[in-house]
Homo-oligomer: A and B are copies of this chain.
Amino acid sequence: MAEDPSGRQRMVAGAADMISRRGLNATSVRELAKHTKAPLGSTYHYFPGGKYDLATEAVRWADDLTMGVLTEELAAGPQAGLSAFLSLWRNIVLNSDFHAGCPVLAVSVEDLPEEHDTPRKAAAEAFQRWTSLLADSLRDAGAPADDAEQGATLIVAAVEGTVAMCRAQRSITPLDHVTAQLTQMIEKMLPELPPAARPATARRRKKTPRR
């Protein structure tokens, strides 16, 4: 968990980044090895299943990273979680000057040969985990069960779609618009409360909040 100097770990993170930029098909093992300063042959020592093993781990890596951020921030309620989720992708898009995005989305829109289907399955799992986490948080905060489930799905879908739109348009404006609307949506689906109050279920947090 401390920094892992291992070439293996660097390759997984590097693959996630590269896939998020160019997609899975355009991410070659050759170039990845070069960028991460790992010898080409070692790749197949670390990842005997080759490119698709590597891609699957890259998707899981992004999944876990996102789950970590969401879990931590959702402790302070759905709005805080939404905000953190948005910031996560916002920073990735801006720091890469609109060149990087979400590797999970990238894998989801490339039809893979039937026998190398594990990256897509990992992507499906990631979306499911993010959605469930958000839905639970909305329910805990008092949203009706249907709205919680549907709203969580909308949040994940909208963020993924918006990141792609921002990249196409080379502008962060779509993300700002979506942020405003999703924030409104959550407000309307929660029971009305004075801004300071919070339902009891939302108060249990596991750690001290960040920052």
A95-118, CB < 8 A from B: 99, 101, 104-111
In the complex, A2 has a CB within 8 A of chain B: no
Q: Binding site of A, secondary structure by majority: helix, strand, loop or mixed?
A: helix
Query: Are B109 and A101 in contact (CB-based, < 8 A)?
Result: yes
**A105 cross-chain contacts in B, Cβ below 8 A:** 109, 161, 164
A165-B127, A167-B108 known; A181 and B177 CB under 8 Å?
no
A154 to B161, CA, bound (A): 9
A25 to B26, CA, bound (A): 6
In the complex, A87 has a CB within 8 A of chain B: no
Query: Are A99 and B111 in contact (CB-based, < 8 A)?
Result: yes
A150-164, CB < 8 A from B: 150-151, 153-154, 156-162, 164
